[in-house]
Structure 1
Amino acid sequence: MSNIVISGYYGFANAGDEAMLAAMIEALTDIEPTVSITVISGNPEDTRQRHGVSAVYRLNYPEIARIMAKSNLLISGGGSLLQDVTSDRSLYYYLSIMMLAKKMGLPVMLYAQGIGPVQGALAQGAMRYIGNMVDLITVRDDGSYDELKRLKVTAPPVYITADPVLAMHQVDKSIGRAILKQHGQEGVAPLIGISAREWKDWGHYKQVLAHAADQMIEELGARVVFIPMQFPDDFSVSQKIAGRMTNKAGMLPDEYTTGELLSLVGNLDMLIGIRLHALIFAAVMHVPMAGISYDPKIDRFLETIGERHVGTLKTVTADNLMAKVRQLWVERKQPNQERTERINTLRNRAFQNAELALSLVKERK
C-alpha cells in the first residue's frame, strides 16, 4: 500500500482548491484503491469530513514530520502555490514543507502546479534552490513550464499535463437541479450562470456584469443565477452585482461541495466566469463558457482549450461580453467539436498526473 502526503491550500473553504484535492484523491484511488492519503490542511477536521482522508494541521511541523517518516511520497499541488504575487509568505511555506520532506529522504512531486509569477530576487533564489531538489514536476500549462525555465529549475523531469480537476468524472445533474429548485431557480427558460469574485473592491467589472446580465435576460429571454465558488465572499460580491441590475437574478446563498458545484454547472446553458475552477467545471461538464481574466492562470487555461478571455477586470466591456455570449448561444445545440476534443485530450493529461505520482512511488519502493 502506498502512503502519500498532500500539501496545498486546503481547509480554507475555497471551492477551486477543494476541487483540486478531490480530483487528486479520485484519480489516485482510481489507479490504486488501497492508497493511504494524509492531507496537510488549515482545517483538518473539515478535510477529514469533506474528503474522507486523514489530515494534519498545516503548522504542526512535528506531526507533519512524523507522518512523512511513514510515507512514500510528498505531493505539493495543485494550483498556484508557487508564486509571490498574492503573498510571498505562502511561497516560503510550501517550499519549507518540500524542504522538510527532502531532508527526511522523502521523494517530492510538484503535481499539476501553475508556476509563478515569482518576482522577488529572494523568492526566485529559493525556488531555484528547492525546485531543483524535487524528484518530479508536472505543470498544468505551457506558461508554467516557461516560468520554470526562467527560474532555472532544470534538474527534475518536467511534464506539461493539465489541471487535476479536468480528470474528474462527470456527476449526476439531478443534484444541481434539486438545489436550483430549492432556491426558486427552476424553469424552462435557458439558464446562464455567473461565477464572480471580489478584486480590490473595483467597481468597473461589477457594472459590466450587471449591464450584460440585464441584456441576457431582455435579449435572450434567459434566467441568470450567481454561483458562489468561495462562500461567503463570492455571495457578497454577487449581491453587489445583482444590486446594480434592473432585472432580477437568482442567488445561491450557501456553501457547496465539489460534486454539488459540478452538478450545478452541468445544469447551465452557459457559464460566465472569473474564477478559474468555475471555468474548469464548465469544461468537465461540457458547458459553453466565457472567461474574464484577473490572473495569467485564466489566460493559460482558456488558451489550452482554444479560447481567449473576453477582457480583463479592467478592460472588459458589456459589448465584448455580449458578443461572446451571442456566439456561444448557438453552441447550446451545436457543440464546438474542436473544443470538445481539446478538453478530452486535457482530461487524459490530467489523469497522467496521478499515473506519474504512483509510478514515482513504485520506483522508490
Structure 2
Amino acid sequence: MLRWVGVGGGSLFQDASSWRNPFYYAGVVAIARTLGVPVWAWAQGVGPLSRPWSRGLARLALVQCDRRSVRDRDSAAQLQAWGLDSLRAPDPVWALTAESFPGDWPRPCVAVVLRSHRLLTPAWQGAIVQALRLWQQTAGVHVLWVPFQPQTDGVLATQLQTQVPGSTIQTCENPRQLKGLFAQVDMAIAMRLHGAIMALAEGARCWPLSYDPKVTVLAQELNLPAGDLQSAPPPPATLMQAWQECFAAPTPDVTPQQQGAIAHQGVLR
C-alpha cells in the first residue's frame, strides 16, 4: 500500500522540453489522488509554461499536492501567483554528499557538460569546439566531456570529442560519484543545471551555458559570467577569453546554497 507519492527532483511541470510533460505528471497526481494517496511536490522547478493549457494543468496538479517545495525564486513566484504556499530552498543536489570518483586525467582539466537541444545549434557546437581547441593550444587544458544522460548526451559528446584531439569522455551512473568527479576538475562549462551545481559545490569554477531560465537564474543568483544559447555564438577567440577569465576568477561562496538545500528534507518527514 502506497503511503505517499513524491513528484519532484527537477523541472517536471514545464513544456519547454516536451508539451507532454504537464499531461504526464498531472496524470500521475490525478491517479494518486483518485486512490486516496497523498502527493508531495518536492524540490520542484515550475516552468517555463508557454501554453495556456500547460499552465492550467500544472496549477491543477499542484493544487492537489499536500506538500510543496520549490528550488528557485521564479517557481516560488509562480506558485504564489496561483495562491499556493510552498517552501523555497536551493536545489537538493547542493546538499548531496559526494563520493570519491576513481578517475585520473591531466590537469588543468575543464569538464564540458552539454545536452542535445535545439538551441545548441551547429554554429554553437562549432564555436565551442574551436574555442576548446584554441584553449588546448594556448594553455594545455585537458577537455573532459561528461554526458549526464549517456543515451542522449553521450551521442553528442562522442560527436564533439572526435573534433577535439586528446579530449576524453567520462560517464558515471552513481549520482554521488558523479558529483565527486567534479572535485577532480578545475572548471566546468555546463548546460545542465545539475552539472553547474555539482561543479560549484565541489569547488570548481563554472561557466553556465544557458538554454533554460533555471540555468540563467543560477548564474544571476551567484553573479556568474555565463553564455546564452538564445544569442548568436561569439567568435572562438572571444569565447575562449570568457572561459579564461572565468578560470582566473575566484570560486563563489556556495555555503548558503549547500546549507539551505537541507530544508527540502523537512517536506519528506
| TM-score for the superposition, normalised by structure 1 | 0.67
User: RMSD value over aligned CA atoms?
Assistant: 2.2
**Which of the numbers 178, 190, 193 marks the counterpart of 2:111?**
193
Corresponding position of 2:69:
138
Q: Secondary structure at the match of 1:346?
A: helix
Q: Taking every aligned residue pair, what percent have the same amino acid on both sides?
A: 22
Offset from partner CA, 1:120-168 (integer Å, 9 cap, x none): 2222222233322222221111111223344x2x14x212211111111
Corresponding position of 1:42:
none
Residue 308 of structure 1 and its aligned partner are, at CA, apart by: 4.2
Residue 34 of structure 2 aligns with an amino acid whose one-letter code is: K
Cα distance change, pair 205–176 in 1 and its aligned pair in 2 (3 A): farther
Residue 218 of structure 1 and its aligned partner are, at CA, apart by: 1.4
Distance, in Å, in 1 between the alignment partners of 2:29 and 2:204 is 37
User: Are the aligned partners of 1:141 and 1:304 in contact in 2 as well (CA < 8 Å)?
Assistant: no
Residue 9 of structure 2 aligns with an amino acid whose one-letter code is: G
Distance, in Å, in 1 between the alignment partners of 2:127 and 2:212 is 18
Q: Aligned pair 1:128/2:52, yes or no?
A: no
Corresponding position of 2:183:
266
User: Are the aligned partners of 1:84 and 1:116 in contact in 2 as well (CA < 8 Å)?
Assistant: yes
Q: Aligned pair 1:169/2:87, yes or no?
A: no
Q: Aligned pair 1:102/2:102, yes or no?
A: no
Residue 67 of structure 2 aligns with an amino acid whose one-letter code is: L
User: Are the aligned partners of 2:71 and 2:90 in contact in 1 as well (CA < 8 Å)?
Assistant: yes
Distance, in Å, in 2 between the alignment partners of 1:242 and 1:164 is 31
**Which of the numbers 200, 214, 223 marks the counterpart of 1:283?**
200
Cα distance change, pair 278–312 in 1 and its aligned pair in 2 (3 A): same
Residue 170 of structure 1 aligns with an amino acid whose one-letter code is: A
User: Which structure 2 residue ranges, 5 or more long, are not aligned?
Assistant: none
Q: Secondary structure at the match of 1:272?
A: strand
Q: Secondary structure at the match of 1:292?
A: strand
User: Are the aligned partners of 1:205 and 1:314 in contact in 2 as well (CA < 8 Å)?
Assistant: no
User: Which structure 1 residue ranges, 5 or more long, are not aligned?
Assistant: 1-66, 181-185, 359-365
Distance, in Å, in 2 between the alignment partners of 1:144 and 1:85 is 15
Q: Aligned pair 1:346/2:265, yes or no?
A: no
Cα distance change, pair 205–77 in 1 and its aligned pair in 2 (3 A): same
In the comparison of the two structures, how many residue pairs are matched? 267
Residue 353 of structure 1 and its aligned partner are, at CA, apart by: 0.6
**Which of the numbers 130, 142, 147 marks the counterpart of 1:228?**
147
User: Are the aligned partners of 2:110 and 2:144 in contact in 1 as well (CA < 8 Å)?
Assistant: yes
Q: Secondary structure at the match of 1:79?
A: coil
Corresponding position of 1:312:
229
User: Are the aligned partners of 1:117 and 1:147 in contact in 2 as well (CA < 8 Å)?
Assistant: no
Residue 232 of structure 1 aligns with an amino acid whose one-letter code is: Q
Residue 290 of structure 1 and its aligned partner are, at CA, apart by: 0.6
Residue 80 of structure 1 and its aligned partner are, at CA, apart by: 0.8
Distance, in Å, in 1 between the alignment partners of 2:256 and 2:238 is 29
Distance, in Å, in 2 between the alignment partners of 1:119 and 1:275 is 21
Q: Secondary structure at the match of 2:227?
A: coil
Residue 54 of structure 2 aligns with an amino acid whose one-letter code is: A
Residue 352 of structure 1 aligns with an amino acid whose one-letter code is: A
Cα distance change, pair 93–330 in 1 and its aligned pair in 2 (3 A): same
User: Are the aligned partners of 1:145 and 1:160 in contact in 2 as well (CA < 8 Å)?
Assistant: yes
Cα distance change, pair 308–101 in 1 and its aligned pair in 2 (3 A): farther
Residue 197 of structure 2 aligns with an amino acid whose one-letter code is: I
